[in-house]
Each structure stands twice: as C-alpha cells, then as structure tokens.
C-alpha cells in the first residue's frame, strides 16, 4: 500500500494540477480536444506515466478506438474515456469503454473530463457488468485529500506493483454484499449468541438470532448507534 508520504506527494500533484487548469474560468469551457491536453498532463505529471511508452492514444480495439489505454509491460490495465470538461460524466458514457474492456480483458475503466474523475471495475460475467469504485471533483479542495488517498492507486508505481488490484480486493471485501456473506455464517451467529448470553443472561436459540440478523441486514435499524471503538 502507498505510504503517507506518497499520498501526500500525489495530493501535492493534484493541487498543482487544479491550480494550473481548474481555477481559470476559460479552462472550464474548453472542448474535448483541449480537455485532452489537461488529461495528458494529469496522466504524466500527476500519475507518473510516460507518454508513448505507457499511454496509448486512440487505441484500436477490433475496429473501434479507445481514447486512452494505460499499458505497462505489455499488459493493458486501464481504458480511459475522455469527455469535454463541460460534460457531466455519467454511467451512460461507459457503454463504449465497457465494450473495449470486454474485448481486451481490461479490468478498469476511468471516465475523466479533466475535472470530474470516475473509476469503475469491470466484472467479467454473463452478462459483463461493472462496479463504481470512486468519484471525485478535483476542483473541490474539501475532498482533495481523500481523493489523493484513492487516486494514488491509479499511479504508475501502484499499478506496476499490483496495488490497484489489491485496492479492489479490499474494496470488494467491504461491500454490503461481501459483509453480508461474512456476517450471515454459523460461526458469527454462534459468537453473537454467546455475546448476548453474556450481556443479558438469555440463552437464545441460534435460529432466533439468525432471523434477527437477517432482519437487520435486510431492513437495517434506524436506532443503531455507531460505536466510537470496538468493544472487547
């Protein structure tokens, strides 16, 4: 995983990029061709990729062209779809990139308009699908530190060391679906039963607890209080 120093350096790069491109009104009104100049700077100066060597532009995939493909040591890692900075990104812009990714076995799609950045993981199933991972507005200083902590995983050094894939494994493990599978197991239900017996002196049947846990997972509970720290 990236160190605090590395994240700090990337945050510095984001701030410099923001100051150079996103604080001037005229830059927020440019077309897609001018936006690509900003994207090129972001990929090289902020994320550390090398032009020509790592960044393939107008990449031909089965007769269609992807805006950018990040390729390291002959492995294609990320398809990048670029839109004009004036266009608000949304999932509809994924259609073409998802086709590129499916045809080439590329795990990641990045939507970027020079200001708004959205990362997706491609899920190779039938049918092929995707999962939104993060979204940031780089012009927003209130979230730039948090953005750096996520965007660092897109940096060349992180991708080359496999940290982007590890980032996904951690992200996927903490999704509601994965947590539900982890919680709704016999071992966890048994542990909850023992904890309840210790707390209130009642020896519940495991099935009763399983039903209560299922209700909590499905419907939630508005009165639940987030603990300041885990109780021992």
Tens-place pLDDT, residues 19-68: 999 999 999 999 999 999 999 999 999 999 999 999 998 777 676 678 99
pTM, rounded to two decimals: 0.83
Query: How large is the average pLDDT for residues 64-84?
Result: 92
Q: Residue 222's pLDDT is what?
A: 58
Res. 228 pLDDT band, cuts 50 70 90: low
Tens-digit pLDDT profile for residues 108-161 = 999 999 999 999 999 998 889 999 999 999 999 999 999 999 999 999 999 999
Give 12 or 202, the one with higher predicted confidence: 12
Per DSSP, 51 falls in state: B
Q: Residue 37's pLDDT is what?
A: 96
The proportion of the chain whose per-residue pLDDT surpasses 90, expressed as a percent, equals: 60
Q: Residue 221's pLDDT is what?
A: 63
Q: Residue 60's pLDDT is what?
A: 73
Residue range 4-161, CATH number: 3.90.1570
- Spell out the domain ranges in the chain: 4-161, 176-219
Give 221 or 17, the one with higher predicted confidence: 17
Q: Are 130 and 98 in contact (CB under 8 A)?
A: yes
Per DSSP, 123 falls in state: E
Q: Are 110 and 119 in contact (CB under 8 A)?
A: yes
Sequence length of the chain is 232
Q: Residue 159's pLDDT is what?
A: 97
Q: Which residues of 40-77 are buried (b: 16+ CB within 10 A; e: fewer)?
A: bebbeebbbbeeeebbbbebebeeeebbbbbbeeeebb
**What residues form DSSP beta bridges with 123?**
129
Q: Are 159 and 77 in contact (CB under 8 A)?
A: yes
Res. 225 pLDDT band, cuts 50 70 90: low
Mean pLDDT of the chain: 89
Give 18 or 179, the one with higher predicted confidence: 18
Query: How large is the average pLDDT for residues 69-81?
Result: 95
């Amino acid at each position: 995983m990236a160190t605090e120093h590395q994240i700090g350096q990337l945050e510095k790069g984001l701030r410099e990029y923001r100051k150079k491109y996103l604080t001037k009104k005229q830059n927020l009104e440019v077309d897609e061709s001018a936006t690509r100049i900003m994207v090129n700077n972001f990929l090289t100066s902020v994320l550390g990729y090398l032009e020509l060597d790592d960044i393939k532009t107008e990449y031909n995939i089965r007769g269609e062209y992807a805006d950018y493909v990040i390729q390291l040591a002959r492995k294609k890692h990320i398809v990048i779809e670029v839109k004009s900075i004036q266009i608000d990104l949304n999932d509809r812009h994924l259609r073409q990139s998802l086709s590129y990714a499916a045809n080439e076995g590329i795990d990641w799609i990045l939507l970027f308009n020079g200001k708004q950045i959205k990362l997706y993981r491609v899920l190779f199933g039938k049918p092929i699908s995707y999962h939104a991972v993060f979204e940031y507005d780089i012009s927003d200083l209130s979230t730039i530190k948090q953005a750096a902590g996520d965007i660092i995983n897109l940096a060349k050094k992180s991708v080359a060391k496999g940290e982007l894939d590890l980032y996904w494994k951690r992200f996927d493990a903490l999704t509601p679906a994965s947590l539900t599978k982890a919680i709704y197991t016999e071992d966890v239900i048994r542990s909850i039963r023992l904890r309840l017996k210790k707390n209130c002196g009642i020896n519940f049947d495991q099935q009763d607890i399983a039903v209560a846990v299922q209700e909590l997972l499905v419907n939630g509970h508005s009165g639940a209080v987030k603990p300041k720290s885990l109780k021992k």
